[in-house]
Amino acid sequence: MSYAYLFKYIIIGDTGVGKSCLLLQFTDKRFQPVHDLTIGVEFGARMINIENKAIKLQIWDTAGQESFRSITRSYYRGAAGALLVYDITRRETFNHLASWLEDARQHANSNMTIMLIGNKSDLQHRRAVSTEEGEQFAKENGLIFMETSAKTAHNVEEAFINTAGSIYKKIEDGVFDVSNESYGIKVGYGSGGGAGAGLGRSDAQASRSACCS
């Protein structure tokens, strides 16, 4: 399938907050309680529509453990969007947000759109971080905020799509030079996008396999 733009996302946050489950819910629309913990990085992709433009999201799901951070940081490079995830039932995952944010600010491009996500909203009875606290943190740091449940799929679509909407708006506003891939945006074929000037190779492949074979 052709697309107008490709956006690279990364998902970051402490181990066990549900990063991989969010990705799976978004790409496969299912919740898999039994899955292997992420070592290094995993990938997912899905097409979405923003203002009738096909957008491909390529999502990098990173390992959360602190000791892998020196490696994880390298994945920030060239990401247009980031989902910064904490677990509303575990206070410490919220407490670590500042350190994640610092990493992201330091190693990603400054125009990266960051969505703060309080995951596991289905576990209200075990909530340890209030919605207001999440909102407050987001406001202070200029992030979009949302509470989600990868298990029930609540707000999962919205989280990914709203982030894309925000990136798209930045493109329209001329914030990004889309021919510069370091912003995590690639221009694709068709659907009213650019002429393919910034088409990345992996996506050249993807397009090829989708439309020519």
Chain residues that interact with other proteins, rule: CB under 8 A: 8, 14-16, 34-37, 39-43, 63, 65-68, 70-71, 74-75, 77-78, 92, 95-96, 99, 200-202, 205
CB of 110 to other proteins, least distance (A): 19
Q: What is the DSSP letter of 152?
A: T
CB of 192 to other proteins, least distance (A): 25
Residue whose CB is less far from other proteins, 50 or 59: 59
17: left (phi over 0), alpha (psi -120 to 50) or beta: alpha
CB of 203 to other proteins, least distance (A): 9
CB of 79 to other proteins, least distance (A): 10
Residue 150 buriedness (CB in 10 A; 0-12 / 13-18 / 19+): buried
C-alpha–C-alpha distance, residues 78 and 44, integer Å: 16
**Minimal CA–CA distance to 21: which of 7, 10, 33, 13?**
33
CB of 173 to other proteins, least distance (A): 25
- What is the b/e burial string over 83-99, where b = at least 16 CB atoms within 10 angstroms of the residue's CB? bbbbbbbbeebbebbee
**Minimal CA–CA distance to 186: which of 55, 71, 88?**
55
C-alpha–C-alpha distance, residues 13 and 19, integer Å: 7
> C-alpha distances in angstroms, 119 versus 6, 9, 135?
25, 17, 13
Residue whose CB is less far from other proteins, 71 or 175: 71
**Minimal CA–CA distance to 29: which of 123, 160, 177, 132?**
160
CB of 101 to other proteins, least distance (A): 12
